[in-house]
Amino acid sequence: MDYIDFTIRARDWRDGQFKVEVTGSPVDRMREPATVTYEEATLERPLHNLERKRIRLRHLIALGESLAGLLLPPTVRQMLLRSLEAIGPEQGLRLRLVLDDPQIANLPWEYTYLHRAAGEKGRDGFLVLDPRISMVRHEAIPIAAGSTKATRPLKLVVGLSSPTDAIPLNLEAERGFIKEALVDVDGIEAIFVEHLTADKLVAACQGAHIFHFAGHGRFAWAADEAQGSGLVVLEDETGSSHPFPAENLALTLRQAGVRLAVLGACETGRRDGVNVWSGVAPALMRAGIPAAVAMQYEIYDDSSVVFGRRLYEALAAGMSLDEAVAAGRLAAFNLGGQDDVEWGVPVLYMRSADGLVFPGVTADPSLEATRDQLRVTIRQRVEELRGKLLGAEVAGLPAGRIKVIQEITTLDEGGQAIGFRAGQVDSGSTETN
């Protein structure tokens, strides 16, 4: 799927207000920015509950609608909907967020909610659960964006760190799914580094294209809890924890030539809301790494594993980072229950023009069937359906596969459930349950 940029810039924070504008889209750009008001008192509690995974679905939807009110004021929202109508059936929309102020960048935009279908509000309204929409954090800095593309042979370094004085992690599962995903992919050398120390990191990453970190991450707050900084936890020579600051990791990966960092560790995507470069992933962007996948909150081990497995399966099949992250989100989504929030924890930071990692694999027609199976699964749960519920609607489906699962407890008179609607279906396939 080819993703077209829909670039939203949020800037000029002052006394709880900031400006939002569309600087590029498939339809046009805004002449004047819109001014929105951030009511901290209203969002403080739901944000607190979200981070601690103590939020019910209806409150998560309400939070998502509040985030949409900030990111998608009326003109931006109209342009977004028109852009979705304008793109072709083989295209998606990349929401490229340019967030100039740390207070704005610190919000969990991946939970933005826009109710576009008839019927009751369900989880399908979260934008990042729509496979046609990719959400990307773009750090605006005065250096070349670089590219994630690589020619084979390609080197992937997987650093494994589980200090003896920290909570044990299922690192064998991460090793297993990476090996399994790449078993039939020619020209990719995966190097697994056990008990990752700073010295091992420097030595192993020389000439690497991708660095994957499997271990703990932490956001260390200052005494006043107003400012902090991100870090990953390596091991020292005795196997104990060795905190490795974000800036150290960023400079190490830049010197090695790494183009994509996948950080499965908790809180590697978060900031403190005060300093622009306080988080691990933002520090990587500042150093010139073209792309990073990170976690903005703590993430459960099983969710991290299924997300990573699907991410690498998609990349190995030649799909873009946009599609791979979307596939990983849906895998985490399908693992969890009604009030699960793990699918929104991963964050994609990307400054490159597109998210292609293995263009040679992307061009391989023999992998198209694999790509089709990885692409779209939509699940909807409705307690009581009074109006219409639509699972998916596209202009056409020349190829690919869409699976829609609708679970309805009570269907009232006049209620109508439509699994899939398309203008034309050629060789593509659909499945509705």
Among 267-276, 389-398, 421-430, which range has the highest average pLDDT? Answer: 267-276
Reported as a single tens digit per residue, the pLDDT across 19-77 is 999 999 999 899 999 999 998 888 999 999 999 999 999 999 999 999 999 999 999 99
CB atoms within 10 A of CB 427: 9
Number of Cβ within 10 Å of residue 118's Cβ equals 13
State both tokens at 114.
């826009």
Give 120-176 pLDDT, tens digit per residue: 888 889 999 988 899 999 988 888 778 888 777 789 999 999 999 999 888 998 888
Q: Which pLDDT band, with edges at 50, 70 and 90, does 397 fall under?
A: very low
Residue intervals of the chain classified under CATH 3.40.50.1460 are 154-363
Distance CA 413, CA 401 (A): 31
pLDDT at 295 over 80: yes
Q: In this structure, which CATH number among 3.20.20.70, 3.90.105.20, 3.30.930.10, 3.40.50.1460 belongs to the domain 154-363?
A: 3.40.50.1460
Name the nearest CA neighbour of 299 among 268, 337, 261, 330.
Answer: 268
The residue with greater pLDDT, 219 or 398, is 219
Query: What is the model's pLDDT at position 420?
Result: 55
Which pLDDT does position 107 carry in this prediction?
94
**What pLDDT score was predicted for residue 278?**
74
Between residues 273 and 50, which one has the greater pLDDT? 50
CB neighbours of residue 130 within 10 Å? 20
Question: Which has the closest alpha carbon to 66: 34, 44, 88, 83?
Answer: 44
Angle subtended at Cα 285 by Cα 106 and Cα 231, rounded to the nearest 5 degrees? 65
pLDDT class of 252 with cuts at 50, 70, 90: very high
DSSP H helices in 211-320: 246-256, 280-286, 301-316
Question: What's at 429, amino acid-wise?
Answer: S
pLDDT tens readout for residues 173-209: 888 888 888 877 777 788 999 999 999 999 999 999 9
Select the highest-mean-pLDDT range: 13-17, 18-22, 398-402: 18-22
